Amino acid sequence: MIKINKSIKNIIIFLSLMQILYVFTLLKIPLLESATLSSQIQSKSIQLQELNYILDNNKNILNHISVISQELITYRNMLPNDTGLIIQTTNIINQLNDYDIQNINPLNSNSLNDNIILREYEIKFTGNELTGIDIVKTLREIYPLTNISYISWDLNNETKMIIKVYTNDSNIS
């Protein structure tokens, strides 16, 4: 009987060990799958957050483009209609009668997007940079968005500046 009890005891221990091994094996697979799924869910969640961030940025960019487009239309509407290079140069000369202008040369003319024309002029005059700023202020009375792109002066009170003059393309239908 003792032998049977030992044999049964050994069988019970063996079966218990097999059950434990079986349980760990069976539990290990779902645990690994659960960990893998959890990792994938976190990864997808991060990707979703990134996509939402990109979407929000795209919406902000589109809104910003819309605002800029509206501002451009506003600025374009502030511009006088283009009258051509010769008439514009004559208008500039006439507007600057109160200054000691030595020379006015048109440098180039560009048609920008949204029917805006940009012309650059080189103006040589007697005076300093403050006189140049006054000249631009005077020109803004007829060409509101005129600005200085370059200015230089020497000790002899001779100044040269390049200005940009913007007009609205009058050929808009």
pLDDT above 60: residue 172 = no
Q: What percent of the chain has pLDDT over 90?
A: 14
Residues 122 and 104 sit within 8 Å (Cβ to Cβ): yes
Grade residue 173 by pLDDT with cuts at 50, 70 and 90.
very low
Q: What is the pLDDT of residue 36?
A: 80
Q: What is the largest CA-CA distance in the chain?
A: 133
Question: What DSSP assignment string belongs to 3-31?
Answer: HHHHHHHHHHHHHHHHHHHHHHHHHHHHH
pLDDT at 34 over 80: no
* Fold annotation for 85-168: Alpha-Beta Plaits (3.30.70)
171: confidence class by pLDDT, cuts 50, 70, 90: low
Using a pLDDT cut of 70, give the percent of the chain over it: 90
CA quadruple 93, 122, 79, 139: dihedral sign: negative
* Domain residue ranges in the chain: 1-78, 85-168
Q: At what angle do helices 129-139 and 85-95 cross, to 10 degrees?
A: 120
Overall average pLDDT of the 160-167 stretch? 91
Of 77, 168, 75, 85, nearest in space to 119 by CA: 85
pLDDT band at residue 20 using 50, 70 and 90 as cut-offs:
confident
The whole-number pLDDT of residue 76 equals 75
Q: Which range, of 11-15, 59-63, 98-102, averages the lowest pLDDT?
A: 11-15
pLDDT, tens digit, 9 for 90 and up, residues 108-131 = 988 887 788 999 999 999 988 888
The predicted-structure confidence for 92-101, as pLDDT tens digits, reads as follows 988 888 888 9
**CB 115 within 8 Å of CB 169:** yes
DSSP sequence for 111-145: EEGGGEEEEEEEEEEES-HHHHHHHHHHHTTTSTT
